[in-house]
Amino acid sequence: MRRYTVVVRAAVVLAVALAAGGCGRWGFAVPLDAVDGGEDTDAPGDADLDVAAPKPDAAVGPDGPLSADAPPGTGDYAVASTSGTFTPIASGTVVPGFVARADDESYPLALPFAFAFYGVTFTTVNVSVNGYVSFDAPATGADTALNDCPLDSSPPGAMIAAFWDDLYANDAAPAATMTYATTGTAPDRAITFEWKDMDAYYVAGGGNNSFAQGVRVTHQIVLRENGVIELRYGPRTAPSGSNANKDCGPDRHRGCSATVGLEAPASVLFEAIQCGTGAGPGPGYAPIDDGKVITLTPL
């Protein structure tokens, strides 16, 4: 009888696991008491891992065809890195569809002007919670949350990554926002996309469980009507307490597990500025601090 009971319970557990697996990655957000220095052992019953809310699921499926990859992109960009004073968007418009606790979502938006990217002109863009914009069909599942390091031909395609990482729009103060604003007059207009006070997930233990690390990062992507791209970086708050060693470590907010760069339509050309993974910094890594500006000028 005991063996029979174990088998039945195992079958039930397997059924639940398969049902959860069909929904994509799953886990829980860690409350801010752990961020503020509480114990966080990732152990069952740990008070600091009391469930705040489940990590929103991302759709999982085979990589689909790239929709905007004809014709292939051509050309190149000159890259310049400077520093200055970060200016947040003063009266921005919330990216349509964005809500608190957004995770791997991507939101379509019409551009106020035609924008040439690697020689291909686009009039719409997809804005991802995970710190990038794409002129291609939105990526899904792991393709949106797990940044390529280095950049490769997998989705997302035709993309600009300011700080591509597994970001999360926390609703605990300071709560995250995603906004945009258009400035200037033709032919010198610009549209700025801003990710403000975003948190980031880290994977804890087995089962691909994900928890909020308690960082806060702010950055912008600016598209200028003349084709110039600017990546601007604002205030950044490091993980603290027992969360400081999660993912790539205490420099998570400075990009040690993030990708920065460009991927041309059809994924035939790349401008890889730097990248990292949960294991630590990758090629080209240079810590990202408040006030950093990366300007990419088409050649």
Write out the two tokens for 138.
């939105």
Confidence band for 283, pLDDT divided at 50, 70 and 90? very high
Q: What is the mean pLDDT of residues 279-295?
A: 97
Is residue 268 in some structural domain? Answer: yes
Q: What is the mean pLDDT of residues 234-250?
A: 95
Among 230, 250, 216, 236, CA closest to 290: 236
Is residue 59 in some structural domain? Answer: no
The whole-number pLDDT of residue 71 equals: 78
Separation CA 200–CA 276 (nearest Å): 14
- State the DSSP H helix or E strand holding residue 142, giving kind and residue range, or none if neither: helix 142-145
Confidence band for 207, pLDDT divided at 50, 70 and 90? low
Mean pLDDT across the chain: 82
On whether the pTM is more than 0.85, the answer is no
Separation CA 296–CA 183 (nearest Å): 19
pLDDT in tens, 81-102: 999 999 999 999 999 999 999 9
**DSSP character at residue 212:** E
The whole-number pLDDT of residue 268 equals: 87
Side chain identity, residue 176 = A
Q: Tell the residue number behind the tokens 């909020």, with chain if given.
A: 212
Is residue 56 in some structural domain? Answer: no
The answer to whether the beta carbons of residues 222 and 19 sit under 8 Å apart is: no
Write out the two tokens for 135.
């002129």
Share of the chain above pLDDT 70, in %: 76
pLDDT(239) > 80: yes
pLDDT in tens, 50-71: 233 445 444 333 333 334 555 7
Phi, psi of 167 (to 5 degrees): -85, 165
The number of distinct structural domains making up the chain is 1
pLDDT(182) > 90: yes
The whole-number pLDDT of residue 205 equals: 75
Is residue 18 in some structural domain? Answer: no
Is residue 6 in some structural domain? Answer: no
Is residue 34 in some structural domain? Answer: no
Is residue 46 in some structural domain? Answer: no
The whole-number pLDDT of residue 262 equals: 98
Domain with 278, as residue range(s), is 67-298
Q: What is the mean pLDDT of residues 216-237?
A: 98
Q: What is the mean pLDDT of residues 181-206?
A: 95
The whole-number pLDDT of residue 13 equals: 37
The whole-number pLDDT of residue 55 equals: 55
The whole-number pLDDT of residue 106 equals: 97
Confidence band for 251, pLDDT divided at 50, 70 and 90? very high
- State the DSSP H helix or E strand holding residue 7, giving kind and residue range, or none if neither: helix 2-21
Q: What is the mean pLDDT of residues 112-132?
A: 97
The answer to whether the beta carbons of residues 114 and 222 sit under 8 Å apart is: no
Beta bridge partners, 164, equal 259
